[in-house]
Structure 1
Amino acid sequence: MKRRDFITKAGLVGAGTVAASTLAAPAIAQDRIEIAMVSTWPRDFPGLGTGAQRFAQKLSDVTDGRIQVTYYAAGERVGAFDSFDEVASGNAQAYHAADYYWKGKHPGWAYFTAVPFGLTYPEMKAWLRWMGGQELHDELAGEFGLKCVPMGNTGVQWGGWFNKEINSGDDLKGLKMRIPGLGGDVMAKLGASPVSLPGGQIYENLVSGAIDATEWVGPWNDEAMKFYEAAKYYYYPGMHEPASQLHVGFNASFWSGMSASDKALIQAVAAGGDNDFMAEYNAKNGAALERLVNDQGVVVKEFNDDVYAAFKRGSDEVYEEVQTHSALAKKIHESMVNARKIVGDYVQLNDVAYTNKRNAALGA
């Protein structure tokens, strides 16, 4: 190659590099994404709050600060139950919540957190990822200007804290109980008075006697809330929330304005956060239960078959009403029931059978 040609070509390459670098800086600056994220949890609350805060920080970490999330705990920007409207209106870009809080807007929302006699964690994951659940959630959320991404699960929740023993369905009559979602509707069918309260208001209402009972999550979270100071009996298993799936709900216009790669990145970070949530609850619930029993004198009791039969009667009535709400509500219900049958039967034959055999062989 002639020296003159080499210098000319090298000059062109250099010029191209300069041009690219001149364009890159402003492009990166323009690509910065800022997200105001409200939530339904108290700040630094174990699991629910800290998991949402980890997600917000992780988005910043994996993008070297290009995506910045400003996290607002319940009450810091809006009230816990105002999160939906704050994001749907576009005043904030995202929320972290349990979507069953929005069942008053459409009963279908409850199915994407948890419903009575519904899906466990592995069943929920199968339904959302591979059996049409996410598509149905997208259809429902789209009607309200939202896009919801799974991020967090607490597993099977406990039945709750009671000031008296619950030995039959009749013992639920007249009970004022904090229990949201369709589980609250079931309790109403059985003569109880369900109350929906955000987490930060439960303890004071239980201590004051404004409510007689409450469910929240499970041993790890319930210990942190100190419910043992106000109620003696701790019942399991809860029929109302067999796998409480949490979500990051985005404003739909904001979501549609992001690039495909940013959407995929957010969904990947959320999936990792979802796994971390369930792992943390599994790791910490057992030790917390031991402390509640050994250190606080909590009486752990199992709901008997008579009480569960009452729960089933109440849930049958609730589901009949839900399916008459709309074609979409009916479609969501039928899809969940199909997943519960197909996945649930296999989990029973495989996972549950193995655990039972293992524990029997080990003398557990």
Structure 2
Amino acid sequence: MIERRSFVRGAGLAGVLAAGSAPAIVHAQATLRWRVASSFPKSLDTIFGAGEVFAKKVGEMTGGKFQITVHAAGELMPPLGVVDGVQNGTVEACHTVPYYFFGKDPTFAIGAAIPFGLNSRQMSAWMFEGNGLKLMREFYDGYNIVNFPCGNTGAQMGGWFRKEIKSLDDMKGLKFRIGGFAGKIVERLGAVPQNLPGSEIYQALEKGTIDAAEWVGPYDDQKLGFYKVAPYYLYPGWWEGGPQVDLFINKKAYESLSAEYKAIVEAASAYAHVDMQAKYDARNPPALKQLVASNTKLIAFPKAIMDAAFKTSMEVYAELNSSNPAWKKIYSDYDAFRRDQNLWFRFTEARFDSFMQAQKL
């Protein structure tokens, strides 16, 4: 021991490194830096902010040794190019909504939201206690990705329309900005889906390039100013009962982490997952009041449209079960879980909520 200490003092750090005696010491002192490419603009402090919450928590739990910077949509790559960026290792991770990438494979959508799917609580239950996380990770492995739930908006609104929607006929030819997989359904209802990122929606709506647009809900929609150019605000967003936002990590980057850092990533993403929905649930009610005070017209989707959309959605899922093995494997599990969840919620959450919402408090 005395001889070793003398060697360390005499050789100095360079000598120790050359002798291969201190890699553990060096690694303990090294700072790890990652970049996260977001699909969202910085102005949306809820959905973009969840990425920042994640990064901050990782930094706090590692004493600043694991530093993550979050880059807004377009800063490093286009908002819909982030999966390619993670897949090829341009960035270590991205923060996005999986259904944006249904064009690669419709199965991506199940990891976020599909029309008439799970609500946010049910989605978290499927992910964390059901087979959701396991099944989606098996699927994403083919894209060189490891996924973590990292946010949920809760049930969304149905979007902003320049003209009132009274029947299915009003959907014909409607140029509707609608995210991801849901476009397949509205297209069969006669609308023309447009898959625009959030930062481009207002301008398109203002110029009349599109006739309608959905984003998230009152808090974000108010920030984006949609109420100024489209007065009709429809509900509910039947295609987004509980859309999950994910952290996608490059597989090689993730596997290079220590067991401790992997646990920290898991914990920080779970924290951000809960934090995002808490923010939306707290901020949407006052924002909705302000929108109504600004002459926004709240209108429920006509039942005929809801019924047609449901029927069409089930037809699309049946077609995918026949043509896409990855979809069939995951959707079969998802469908069974949804059935049991709806049975349970019918006697508990739904009944309690409907009673409470009818009360004058």
Same fold, judged at TM 0.5 (above): yes
Letter in 2 for 1:138: R
Which position in structure 1 is the counterpart of 2:279? 280
The answer as to whether partners of 1:255 and 1:263 remain within 8 angstroms in 2 is: yes
Is the partner of 2:35 in helix, strand or coil? strand
Aligned counterparts of 1:211 and 1:280: Cα–Cα separation in 2? 29
Partner of 1:347: 345
Q: Counterpart of 1:6?
A: none
- Superposed CA offset, 1:252-299 (max 9, x none): 1111121222111111111011111111100000000000001x2100
The one-letter amino acid paired with 1:74 is A
Matches of residues 181-260 of structure 1 in structure 2 within 5 Å?
A: 181-260=180-259
Which deviates further from its counterpart, 186-195 or 160-169? 160-169
Q: Is the contact made by 2:100 and 2:181 (CA closer than 8 Å) also made in structure 1?
A: no
Q: Is the 8 A contact 2:148 2:246 kept in 1?
A: yes
- Contact kept in structure 1, 2:168 and 2:304, CA below 8 Å: yes
- Between the aligned partners of 1:101 and 1:140, the Cα distance in structure 2 is 16
**For 1:44 and 1:187, how far apart are their aligned partners in 2?**
28
- Output the CA distance in 2 between the equivalents of 1:249 and 1:25: 30
Name which of structure 1's ranges 351-360 and 232-241 shifts more when overlaid on structure 2.
Answer: 351-360
User: Contact 1:60–1:66 (CA<8 Å) still a contact in 2?
Assistant: yes
Q: 1:234 to 1:130 in 2, by over 3 A?
A: same
Structure 2 partner of 1:114: 113
Which amino acid counterpart does residue 171 of structure 2 have in structure 1?
Answer: L
Q: Which residue of 2 aligns with 1:146?
A: 145
**What are the residue-to-residue correspondences of 1:306-317 with 2, within 5 Å?**
306-317=304-315
- Deviation at 1:15? 6.2
Q: Offset at 1:36?
A: 1.2
In structure 2, relative to structure 1, the CA distance for the partners of 1:359 and 1:91 (3 Å cut) is: closer
Residue deviations 1:300-327, cap 9 Å, x none? 0111211111211321232123223321
**RMSD, aligned CA:** 2.0
For residues 214 and 25 of structure 1, the distance between their equivalents in structure 2, rounded to whole angstroms, comes to: 54
Name the structure 2 match of 1:67: 66
1:51 Cα shift? 1.8
**94-103 or 65-74, which moves further after superposition?**
65-74
> How far has the Cα of 1:112 moved from its partner?
0.8
Give per-residue Cα distances to partners, 1:65-122, cap 9 Å, x unaligned: 1111122111111110110111100110000000101111111100111000000011
Which letter does structure 2 place at the counterpart of 1:49? F
Alignment of 1:99 with 2:83, yes or no, is no
The letter of the residue matching 2:248 is G
2:360 alignment partner in structure 1: 363
TM-score, with normalisation over the residues of structure 1?
0.91
- Displacement after TM superposition at 1:58 (Å): 2.0
Map 1:1-20 to 2 at 5 A: none
Counterpart for residue 136 of structure 2: 137
- Give 5+ residue unaligned stretches, structure 1: 1-10
Q: Is the 8 A contact 1:41 1:199 kept in 2?
A: yes
Q: 2: CA distance between counterparts of 1:310 and 1:169?
A: 8
Structure 2, unaligned runs of 5 or more? 10-15, 17-21
* Residues in 1 aligned to 2:64 and 2:185: alpha-carbon distance in whole angstroms: 46
Distance 1:36 1:48 in 2: 17
2:19 corresponding residue in structure 1: none
Q: Relative to structure 2, which stretch is displaced further, 96-105 or 45-54?
A: 45-54
Q: 1:43: how far off?
A: 1.7
CA distance in 1 between counterparts of 2:357 and 2:70 reads: 43
Instruction: Write the distance in 2 (CA, Å) between the matches of 1:125 and 1:50.
Output: 20
Partner AA of 2:52 in structure 1: Q
Corresponding residue for residue 291 of structure 1? 290
Q: Report if aligned partners of 1:151, 1:274 keep a CA contact under 8 Å in 2.
A: yes
Aligned to 1:27: 27
CA distance in 2, matches of 1:317, 1:171: 22
Displacement of 1:356: 2.5
1:80 aligned onto 2:79: yes
Q: Which amino acid aligns with 1:93?
A: E
SS at match of 2:143: coil
Q: Post-superposition shift, 1:359?
A: 4.0
Which is worse superposed, 197-206 or 325-334? 325-334
Amino acid at match of 1:237: P
CA distance in 2, matches of 1:73, 1:323: 36
Q: For 2:141 and 2:256, locate their aligned partners in 1 and report how far apart those are by CA, in whole Å.
A: 15
Q: Distance in 1 between matches of 2:139 and 2:250?
A: 13
Does structure 2 retain, via aligned residues, the 8 Å contact 1:88–1:251?
yes
CA–CA distance in structure 2, aligned partners of residues 52 and 325 of structure 1: 35
Deviation at 1:145, TM superposition (A): 0.5
Which residue is equivalent to 1:4? none
The one-letter code sitting in structure 1 at the alignment partner of 2:253 is: F
Cα displacement (A) at 1:348: 2.1
Partner of 1:322: 320
Distance 1:243 1:356 in 2: 18
Q: Which amino acid counterpart does residue 302 of structure 1 have in structure 2?
A: A
- SS, match of residue 181 in structure 1: coil
Alpha-carbon distance in 1 for matches of 2:140, 2:124: 18
> Number of aligned pairs?
348
1:157-168 correspondence to structure 2 within 5 Å: 157-168=156-167
Contact 1:152–1:277 (8 Å) recurs in 2: yes
